[in-house]
Structure formats: C-alpha cells, structure tokens
Amino acid sequence: MSCENPTTDPDALMNRRPKFDKAKTCIKCKIAEGNIVIRHAVYCKDCFFPLLKTKFKRSLEPFVNRLPNGPRKKALNPSGNLLIGFSGGLGSTVLLDLVHKSYFSHRKPRESGGEVEAVPEQQETGAGDRYRDPRQERVWKKAAVCYVEVAGAFPGMKDRTEDIQRIVESYDDFEFVPLKIEDAFNGEWWESVDQCPSSSLLNFDISNEELPFFQSDSTRLTPLERLHTYLSRLPSPTAIPSTIRTLTRLLLLYTAHSTSSSHLLLGTSLTSLSISLIASVAMGGGFGVSEEVQEEWIPPRSGIEGRKEVGVRVVRPLRDVVNKECATWAWWNGLTVVGQETVPGFKQTIGGLTKDFIIGLERDYPSTVSAIARTCGKLTPKDEAGGQCVMCQRPAQRGMEIWKQRISVRSLADLEEAPSGIPIGTQENQPSLSPYLCYACHATMTSKSSRANPSSTNGPKLPTSTSDSKTVSNLVPLPVWVTARLFGPADKVQAEDPSREGSGDALRDGEVWRNVELGREEMRTAVKDFLLDQDE
C-alpha cells in the first residue's frame, strides 16, 4: 500500500479486493452462472449440492466411530443404532433428507455382527457377494426418528404429530417414535425406557432458594397437569422456553439410550448454534457451553444389576451450514417443512432477543456468525466439573452455592412450616435440591423477573387440601429422572457425585440423611470412651 497522497496521485489508492457476490460465475466450477450467494461466494446449483453434502459429512463422520481415526481412515463402524431428533423445523427437515440420501438410500442393509469386511486387492470383483464393500452398506443397522410434541404445554397450540409422521413415513427404513413433552413427568414412560422405576413422587418448594424437596404419595395429578404446574410456577418468562428445551433434550437422550442408539443427530444449523451458545452463556450456562457444540452423554447408573451402560454421542452435522443454505436445499429438493410454533412470550425472552440479534448480524455480516460458533467451541472451563446436574444432566461446576452466595443480594425470610402430611422430616433436616444442580438450572428456578410470567394463568393449579394454600401452591413436581436419582438405590446420589459428598442432604431409602460439621467438643464427646487418660 502506498503512503502517498491519494488526492494528488490517484494511483496511490489500493485496489479493493473484489467481492465474489458481484460476479455471476460460480466460484467452484468457474463455468456455470451462479444461483446462490453464500458468504460473498457465488455457487451454481450443480456445485451447491456436493458442497452441502461435504459440509454435512465433514461434521458427522469423524464422530461415528467410538475411537477417533488414526493415521489411516477406517470404515465407519458405529457401536449402536441411530436416532434423529426431529422438530419439524427447517434444520431437522434438511438433516433427515441428508441422512437418508447419504447413508440409507441405495445402500444394502448392514449384516449383523463383527467389523465390516473390505474387499482384498487380489480378490476378483466378479466373485459374487462373498466379500462386502463397506461403501455399499449402511452405516447404522437401524435408524429411528423421534419427535417430541410440546402442544400440551401451551393451550391452543396445534398438535403436529400426524404431520410429522407423514413426513417420516415418506422415507424408507426410518422408525417413527412419537413422544409428548409431558412424558417427562410420566412414570409409565420412564419404565418403558428400561430405567429403574421409582415408587415415590417428589415435589420441591420453588419459592425457597434452597429448593427443599418433599416426598409426596399423591397420584391425583396426571403427567400433563404436573407439567402445567411446573411451568406455571417458573419465576421468569425466559425460564419457560429454557425448561422446554431441557425437557425435550432429556427425552431424546433417554429414548436414544432405550433404542440402543450410539448417536443422536440434531438439526442445529450454524445460525441456531450461535443463537443457543450466546443465549446459554447469558442464562448462566457458560460452564457447559462446550456441551452445546459437542456432547458425550453417559446415562446415570440405572440401578439394574448387570446392565451395561452405553453412552450416547450427540452430533450436530449442520453446524457449518447456515439457515440460507438449509432453505435453499429444502427449496430445490421440494421438501415439506412443517414448521414450529413459537412459545408464547418467546420474543421478550433472552433466547428471543438473542435470535433477533444473531439473524440481523448474519444478514449484514455473514462471517461473524461462524466466528461465534468457532470461538465458543474452543472454550473450556478452568476448573473440573464437580459432578452432574440432576436436572439437565450436564457437568456442574464445583462450589456453585458458595459462589452464588458471595455474588447475590438476598433477604432471608422467616421459615414457614411445611404443609402437614407432605414433608419428610422437619425444616432443620430438610433435604435440598440446590447442591445437585448446575448454576444454569438453579438460576432458571430461582431468578426472579420484573415482568409477569406469560403462562402463569395457563394449566391447572396444584390442588390445595390444607388451609395453607399459599405454601401448597409453591410445591412443584420434579421430572421423573430427577426423582429416580434422588430417590433411588441407597448409595446412588453419593456414588454418582462423590465430589459432592458432604455438600448437602440426601434422601436414601426413604430416610433423610444429613451431613453436619461437628465442633471439637462434640467430636471429643463422641470418642471419649476410646481415649486414654493423660495420667496413664
């Protein structure tokens, strides 16, 4: 670049780098006229399809095998089946089409047992089907598509299960698995996914920041009524879509585990990934932000003896594909997009505001959105995880309660007596849910908002059988996987979270076990019979 005065010498101006979107020729083949502009690059229709398939496979295939590839690329050999999470939106519709065309269409069913046997070089190709070519076989033996319907959570929302089923059935070799969001509170569904059943129900007091939980023998509420009660007691509008997202994710993970699936594919595009990353950090999930990009979920111990637990790898194959590319693929392939209804009040939540910001940023500065995803993918927590959150089942930071007490301004209210017949124990030895939550889930349940909850009037109220209706209305049911972990085998909570031993109370075999710190005199009194006299 010249340092001369450009006003007197026009040649001193540095020539601008030409933008590809100002040319009409495809940047790939350099022959055909372009049809679409992606990040200032022009592509024709013939070059666009292999480009998107390459991005899709590049984000998926390195995570198919249990162990990463060595110096030589191995044949794709997953350890289980495949489950595709389908929401009916644009990303999941494109994902379903790409998976079918890339790994199931025009491929033979995979034979059971053993590794894929490749064709030796000295073997003649005309010797029949004695040897199998791994490139001509399906990668996964079985594949299922799971859809979680959330219409039951919001009155007036349309149930789209039948529309989703028609789309899934238009593809061969995919099994359709429909679920409802209220299954998160359904004990029958929990038993159907081969988990250790729990005979007890647990409620927790959402008005208390310690979140004490109580055993409840009441079964008069249906799973849908429990869901309505849970959502209507959440303290802020942002907590509602965040909770729906967490419940949906856990339903998909446990369904993948029950179908012996080693991989769960989600249709999260680059745009959606950037939105979820920024929103997660804003809602307190910065410790587990890497889980939004790549997640390896291992189910908690089920309590069934002799059962081998296999992890589920959550992969987002469209994480390098923006919404514009997904829309172009769906348009040129004639795909039917059912769409998703917006959660009431979503635009005024952290997630809704983040979505508006990222979409506007992508329109004006396309490369910035990919930079957000790449940067967040490199972030790792400074400290090791202190266990697993019982709600979202993601890594939880150590000492969350102590840290939050230092940064929060609180006003301690007088302790109120618990409703008769519901709690187990007294207020002094009441077990708390807080030590077993991550910061994001704890903030979702306790962070207050100045705005009214849009769904506070939706859904049935918790039945009140005592005179203290105010206290009873604060009791909220817990999802089935939380109840199973807190009220499971005797050593379950402490065994799964050994680093949290001594951090709080635990419910074990129907009894309250409380860990307290003893003073020196109390410890001396406990062991005085074993001490020798100083005179001896």
Count of CB atoms within 10 A of residue 504's CB?
Answer: 17
Beta bridge partners of 179: 148
The per-residue b/e assignment along 13-25, b for 16 or more CB within 10 angstroms, e otherwise, is: eeeeeeebeeeee
**Domain containing residue 163: CATH number:** 3.40.50.620
The residue among 265, 263, 295, 264 whose CA lies nearest residue 277 is: 295
Say how far apart CA 470 and CA 456 lie, in whole Å.
15
Are 316 and 181 within one domain? yes
How far is the C-alpha of 193 from the C-alpha of 178, rounded, in Å?
Answer: 13
As beta bridge partners, residue 395 has 388
How far apart CA 135 and CA 141 sit, in angstroms, is 14
How many structural domains comprise the chain?
2
Alpha helices in 153-269 (DSSP H): 161-169, 187-192, 223-232, 239-258
Beta partners for residue 146, in sequence order: 85, 177
Q: For residue range 218-263, what is the model confidence (pLDDT) as tens digits?
A: 567 889 989 998 998 888 888 999 999 999 999 999 999 999 999 9
Same domain, 51 and 143: no
Same domain? 265 vs 304 = yes
Q: Do 32 and 60 lie in a common domain?
A: no
Domain presence at residue 484: no
**Nearest Cα to Cα of residue 66 among 82, 56, 80:** 80
Residues 88 and 235 in one domain: yes
Answer yes or no: is 227 within a domain: yes
| Helix axes 270-282 and 366-377, enclosed angle (nearest 10) | 60
Given 352, 375, 398, the domain boundary residue is 375
Q: Are residues 47 and 94 in the same domain?
A: no
Domain identity same for 38 and 100: no
Q: Does residue 173 lie in a domain region?
A: yes
Nearest to 289 by CA among 395, 406, 366, 444: 395
Of the three residues 354, 375, 396, the one that is the final residue of a domain is 375
| 61 shares its domain with 36 | no
pLDDT value of position 109: 67
- Contacts of residue 266, defined as CB under 8 A and 6 or more positions apart, other chains included, come to 85, 92, 95, 314, 315, 316
pTM over 0.85: no
Same domain, 197 and 307: yes
Residues of the chain with pLDDT under 50: 113-131, 303, 305-306, 412-426, 452-472, 489-512
Domain that residue 279 falls in: 56-66+77-109+133-201+219-375
In a domain, 207, yes or no: no
Single out the residue in 375, 400, 424 at which a domain terminates.
375
Residue 88 lies in a domain: yes
Q: Tell whether 434 is covered by a domain.
A: no
**Distance (Å, rounded) from C-alpha 130 to C-alpha 119?**
9
Is residue 469 in some structural domain?
no
We report the CATH number of the domain holding residue 42 as 3.30.40
For residues 158 and 265, state if they share a domain: yes
36/185 same-domain check? no
Buried b (16+ CB within 10 A) or exposed e, 305-338: eeeeeebbbbbbbbbbbbbbbbbbbbeeeebebb
Contact status, residue 42 vs residue 50, Cβ threshold 8 Å: no
Q: Is 392 contained in some domain?
A: no
> What's the rounded Cα separation, in Å, for the pair 325 and 266?
16
Do 38 and 145 lie in one domain? The reply is no
- pLDDT digits 0-9 by tens, 47-105: 999 999 999 999 998 888 887 655 556 788 888 899 999 999 999 999 999 999 988 87
